[in-house]
């Protein structure tokens, strides 16, 4: 039996994973459940209306199917069959079916998101893992006897709802540069994959605007194109892989300062250098001359001394 998930509108939808598992309990007789999950994904609060494709296949040679196969979605462990409030996928397959395909309901209808069952609605700031399970009851003798066996998928499909955003980053550490600020954040929060830098001119009254997104593999970023002498306010947020954005960090302020490096100081003090290769042409012309001299000397050295 095989199960597949295809979350087509998710941030990680391009990511395809395949997991194959053999159910060892029946391997000796050739019965096996193979679960294949396409598009294992983390989904965010923006994906509550998304639907997912599930495909399955099943191998059961030389046995009699007593009931099922049955497929369902649960927020708990899979077990041998669906229990309340699990969601059974329909239409139910025929006992003769060995492969098939389902389209799940919208994510918001998954178990665990139903208030009547004690769950919280999709979109809330919490994490919840859903499993797509499958099982079949068969017998190698006759159904209804002690030979009945339930075969279930040991590795279910997974849809991981990530509604809880990361903790906010620490207040940014700002370093004033020439027409720029260097923004540092030390260690990023757990689960964060991106740091988003928000900035505005201090006292301008305008809203903060996202300036740049940076991978958490970095610990700082240089934001350029700023006005020297103008004070800027900066705060950070952290984003996880599902796209959840944290609360803002504390706000820091800094003012870019004009500076002159070695060449700027040199020019300020009257240096005449214009850069480039002013003498490149005479330099290049001398090279063939030197090379010719080298060839001439080598030839003389290789000749017999009396020649």
> Is the preceding peptide bond at 302 cis, omega within 30 degrees of 0?
no
* Residue 298 Cβ vs other proteins, minimum distance, rounded to whole Å: 6
288 binds other proteins (CB under 8 A): no
* Residue 208 Cβ vs other proteins, minimum distance, rounded to whole Å: 23
Instruction: Give the contact letters, 239-278, x = binds to other proteins (CB under 8 A), - = no.
Output: ------------------xxxxxxxxxxxxxxxxxxxxxx
The footprint of other proteins on residues 197-236 (CB under 8 A) is: 222, 229
Q: How far is CA 43 from CA 56, 71, 130, 159, 201, in A?
A: 22, 21, 11, 7, 35
Size of the site for other proteins (CB under 8 A): 43
The residues with which 31 forms a beta bridge, in sequence order, are none
* Residue 187 Cβ vs other proteins, minimum distance, rounded to whole Å: 22
Nearer to other proteins, 125 or 253 (CB): 253
146 binds other proteins (CB under 8 A): no
CB distance 30 to 95 below 8 Å:
no
H or E element in which residue 135 lies: strand 127-139
Rounded to the nearest angstrom, the gap between the alpha carbon of residue 19 and the centroid of all alpha carbons in its chain is 19
* Residue 290 Cβ vs other proteins, minimum distance, rounded to whole Å: 5
Nearer to other proteins, 15 or 266 (CB): 266
61 binds other proteins (CB under 8 A): no
The residue ranges that bind other proteins (CB under 8 A) are 175-178, 180, 182, 222, 229, 257-280, 282-283, 286-287, 290, 293-294, 297-298, 300-301
């Amino acid at each position: 039996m095989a199960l597949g998930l295809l979350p087509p509108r998710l941030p990680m939808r391009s990511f395809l994973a395949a997991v194959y598992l053999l159910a060892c309990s029946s391997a000796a007789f050739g019965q096996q459940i193979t679960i294949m999950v396409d598009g294992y994904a983390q989904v965010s609060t923006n994906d509550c209306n998304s639907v997912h494709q599930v495909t399955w296949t099943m191998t059961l040679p030389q046995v009699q199917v007593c009931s099922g196969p049955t497929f369902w979605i649960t927020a708990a462990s899979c077990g041998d069959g669906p229990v309340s409030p699990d969601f059974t996928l329909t239409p139910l397959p025929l006992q003769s079916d060995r492969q098939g395909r389902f389209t799940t309901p919208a994510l918001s209808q998954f178990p665990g998101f139903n208030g009547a069952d004690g769950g919280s609605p999709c979109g809330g700031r919490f994490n919840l893992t859903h499993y797509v399970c499958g099982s079949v009851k068969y017998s190698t003798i006759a159904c209804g006897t002690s030979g009945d066996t339930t075969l279930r998928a040991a590795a279910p499909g997974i849809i991981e709802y990530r509604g809880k955003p990361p903790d906010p980053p620490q207040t940014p550490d700002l370093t004033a540069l020439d027409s720029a600020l260097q923004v540092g954040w030390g260690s990023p929060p757990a689960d964060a994959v991106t740091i988003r830098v928000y900035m505005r001119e201090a006292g301008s009254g305008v809203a903060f605007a996202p300036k740049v997104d940076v991978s958490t593999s970095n610990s700082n970023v240089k934001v350029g194109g700023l006005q020297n002498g103008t004070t800027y306010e900066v705060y950070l947020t952290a984003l996880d892989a599902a796209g959840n954005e944290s609360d803002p960090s504390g706000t820091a302020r800094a003012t870019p300062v004009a500076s002159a490096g070695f060449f700027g100081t040199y020019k300020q003090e009257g240096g005449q250098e214009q850069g480039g290769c002013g003498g490149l042409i005479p330099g290049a012309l001398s090279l063939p001359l030197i090379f010719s001299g080298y060839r001439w000397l080598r030839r003389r050295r290789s000749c017999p001394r009396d020649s």
